Structure 1
Amino acid sequence: MQEETLWIQEVLAGNKYSYTHIINKYKNQLYATILRMTKNPQDAQDFVQEAFIKVYHQLGKYDGKGSFSSWIYRVAINHCLDEFRKKSHHIQKVELSEEMYENPSHPEVIFLKKERSRQLERIVATLPEDERMIILLRYVNELSYDEISELLDIPVTTVRNKLHRAKIKMRKSVNQEGGYFHEMSSGR
């Protein structure tokens, strides 16, 4: 947090180079989150670039009260949601490439990992936007309930309730759909 504060101060003082530190620190996390929202790698790249431009222009509005990571996520996600509304963005399925997985030697292991990821992506994609966002922020970005609450500007109890409802819906989907996750959910 200390180094982020320093970078912000330097950017606001006119040192544009310091902004590259912020970009490098958050670009992969923001891309992963936005890719899961858009399901399209090109759209995700575009939205991340646009979000960083927006963050740059709004950097003076960051008041330091909450964590910078929550603030930057909020700006990026709000930008993405605004774009969805403007363009009536339709979620497209992304084909996951083999490079995204470890390189285990056995082809069957590769196939099972791909199938498991596809099924999980399908199940998460069926959730309403607000629940999907909370699932992604909690389990992909590993944010705490408090950070999600701050980021989405909703009470922590709402975060917990929506997360709980999302998990129930995902379990129902798993039970109906079957497949890899069905075996996992049957044991619980």
Structure 2
Amino acid sequence: MMEPLPETEIIKRVLEGQKPLYELIVRRFNAQLYKIGRAYNFNHEDTQDLMQDTYVDAYKCLAQFETRASFKTWLMRIMLNHCYHKKQKFSFKNETAMDSIQENLNPMFSTSSNDGQKTIQSHELGQIIEYSLSKIPESYRMVFALREINGLNLAETASLLEITESNVKVRLNRAKAMLRKEIEKSYSNEELFEFNLRYCDPFTERTMQIIYDL
């Protein structure tokens, strides 16, 4: 079985004109960007829009990426910036944001799928996680999402959020303490958010069509 191409090689080839290879980037990071958007409490549709904007901006700036750095954290930083600006824009237009608060109490995950491959699709688990995480202050929720859900290390998380590593540790401990104990006992962190395959293919196709048109 062939080893997957490293991001540096994909970027090199894309910049040389092999635009279709950018799809490998999109598919490789869909799940991680999705988790960031959902951790910001954006709904499924808004998260996909933010992901799409992130991939398009990253493509436009691909030549500026310094290959000695981590592409994953570079891409995540773009996503975080989009999430931040969208939230600021939303807050400006909706001072009370009551519609958003109500929306965030609804289940994020579809329960209509019958594939049964992921426990995350269950209505009960979805509600528990949704409610618990939505109640955690954003500063703690984002640390938890980056460290425990996306698997970033201490230094990467501190860099992305522009805080010290000590603050990352403190916020992570507090975030865990805020979650209900049954979540930590019963489910792995990786199960919290999942960009389901039934979303991945059509999303990737839409995103690549935009890339092809650039």
TM-score range relative to shorter protein:
0.7 to 0.9
Query: Residue 47 of structure 1 contacts residue 80 of structure 1 at CA under 8 Å; is this kept in 2?
Result: yes
CA positional deviation for 1:134: 1.0
- Residue 121 of structure 1 corresponds to 130
Query: Partners in 1 of 2:145 and 2:35 — Cα distance?
Result: 9
Structure 1: tracts of 5 or more residues without a match: none
**1:160 Cα offset (Å):** 0.7
TM-aligned CA deviation for residue 98 of structure 1: 2.0
Which structure shows the bigger proportion of residues in helix conformation? Answer: 1
The question of whether the paired residues in 2 share the 8 Å contact of 1:66 and 1:150 is answered with no
In the TM superposition, what is the alpha-carbon distance from 1:2 to its structure 2 partner? 6.2
Contact preservation (8 Å) 2:58, 2:78: yes
The alignment's TM-score, normalised by the length of structure 2, stands at 0.68
Q: Aligned with 2:38: secondary structure?
A: helix
Q: 1:102 offset after TM fit, Å?
A: 6.1
User: 1:104-138 CA deviation, whole Å, 9 max, x = no partner?
Assistant: 9xxxx999x53233122211111222211111112
Aligned pair count reads 172
Q: How does 1:124-143 map to 2 (within 5 A)?
A: 124-143=133-152
1:1-188 aligned at under 5 Å gives the runs: 3-88=6-91, 90-91=100-101, 92-93=103-104, 94-95=106-107, 96-99=109-112, 103=116, 113-170=122-179, 174=180, 180=182
For CA contacts below 8 A with separation 6 or more, give which structure has more relative contact order. Answer: 2
How big is the alpha-carbon RMSD for the aligned residues of Structure 1 and Structure 2?
A: 3.0
In structure 2, stretches of 5+ residues that fail to align are 92-96, 187-214
Q: % of aligned pairs identical?
A: 29
Output the TM-score relative to the length of structure 1: 0.76
Does the CA contact (< 8 Å) of 1:11 and 1:18 recur in 2?
yes
The structural deviation recorded for 1:99 is 4.7
Q: Distance in 1 between matches of 2:88 and 2:167?
A: 23
